[in-house]
Amino acid sequence: MAEMTYLEAISTGLREEMRRDPTVFCLGEDIGLYGGAFKITQGFLEEFGENRVVDTPLAESAIIGAALGAAIMGLRPVAEMQFADFITCGFNQLVNNAAKTHYRWGAPVPMVVRCPSGGALHAGPFHSQNPEAWFFRVPGLKVVAPSSPYDAKGLIKAAIRDNNPVLFFEHKALYRDPKIKQTLPEEDYIVPIGAASVRRPGTDITLLTYGLMVYRSLEAAELLAGEGVDVEVLDLRSLLPFDREAILESVKKTSRLLIVHEDTLTGGIGGEMAAIVADEAFEYLDAPIRRVAAIDTPIPSSPPLEEFFLPNTEKIVTVLRRLAAY
């Protein structure tokens, strides 16, 4: 049993899959000699060689396009976007090519695109976005966003073994956070794509979230517990497919729903979750569905402005109190 950070869990899961399956290889900018911008692939070049740890030009369209071609030919590429924001340069290859290949002629496309995402590090509008909603509406893609080291390792392994293109969103603010280190099993395991996890059981309000916001939500839930309100925190983990049954089961139990995501409010995945609950569990609701998300502007570089922009524990607590009192 080894205690790992979020970053170490992703790196270990990736390394284990490369050892287990010789068709798995990595490609991306500075992932070889430099070990990646965040050091996820540090030491990989020495262990696996330059044929399986491929430094690429600064061209996300080429990275994703090459990964797609390799996947069609029977390999299992793991492509790194140095920052998730840069995935826009490969949008066509991912959305119009990779996502539709199986639909068009039945070919499996076992590729993973790793996307370091999220704010809280004051990196500004081109290195801090949460672009998961751009892909949430694309049939043929899978999208995951683990919040814990256990889930990060289990989901990177599940994503690599999946025969569909999987976007793997990993929050940069979680990489080296010592507060979320976990002791992980030494034996092989995966976390199934499509299964949510109850991070805190409760009876009064369902709080649906994912990624870094899981921890802000847990903090808020503990504060509400001191006021006699029992909040259930449901971590989606997998955004596409998502665990519809777990969401509806929780809402039917609590009769109240708050959705929290770091992405901007308008067009975020919370709107779809709210629609599903309104369609399928309306008669169970005792209060309006509420959302807490980022403000509809580009993310600022300034630390105090970024703090104002992002969802935080205080904002979540405020809405939870309003829901409890409704």
According to CATH, the superfamily of the domain at 2-184 is Thiamin diphosphate (ThDP)-binding fold, Pyr/PP domains (3.40.50.970)
pLDDT confidence of residue 184: 96
The fold of the 197-325 domain, in CATH, is: Rossmann fold (3.40.50)
CA gap 157, 159 in Å, rounded: 5
Residues designated as active site? 127
The whole-number average pLDDT for the span 204-210 is 98
Give the pLDDT confidence of 18-61 residue by residue, as tens digits: 999 999 999 999 999 999 999 999 999 999 999 999 999 999 99
Q: How many Å apart are CA 14 and CA 112, to the nearest integer? A: 11
pLDDT in tens, 258-312: 999 999 999 999 999 999 999 999 999 999 999 999 999 999 999 999 999 999 9
- Write down the domain spans for the chain: 2-184, 197-325
pLDDT digits (tens, 9 = 90+) for 127-178: 999 999 999 999 999 999 999 999 999 999 999 999 999 999 999 999 999 9
Q: Give me the pLDDT at residue 323, please.
A: 97
Residue 190, phi then psi, degrees to nearest 5:
-130, 160
Determine the pLDDT at residue 88: 96
How many whole angstroms separate alpha carbon 246 and alpha carbon 234? 8
Task: Return the closest-CA partner of residue 87 out of 53, 113, 57, 68.
Answer: 113
Domains 2-184 and 197-325 are alike in CATH topology: yes
- What are the two backbone dihedrals, phi and then psi, of residue 72, each rounded to the nearest 5 degrees? -65, -30
- Confidence at 2, pLDDT banded by 50, 70, 90: confident
pTM above 0.95, yes or no: yes
What value does the mean pLDDT of the chain take? Answer: 97
Read off the pLDDT of each residue in 68-73 and give the average, rounded to a whole number: 98
Residue 1 predicted with pLDDT over 90? no
Q: What angle do CA 268, 274, 280 make, to 5 degrees?
A: 145
pLDDT digits (tens, 9 = 90+) for 86-130: 999 999 999 999 999 999 999 999 999 999 999 999 999 999 999
| H/E run at residue 62 | helix 60-72
The pLDDT of 67-86, averaged and rounded, is: 97
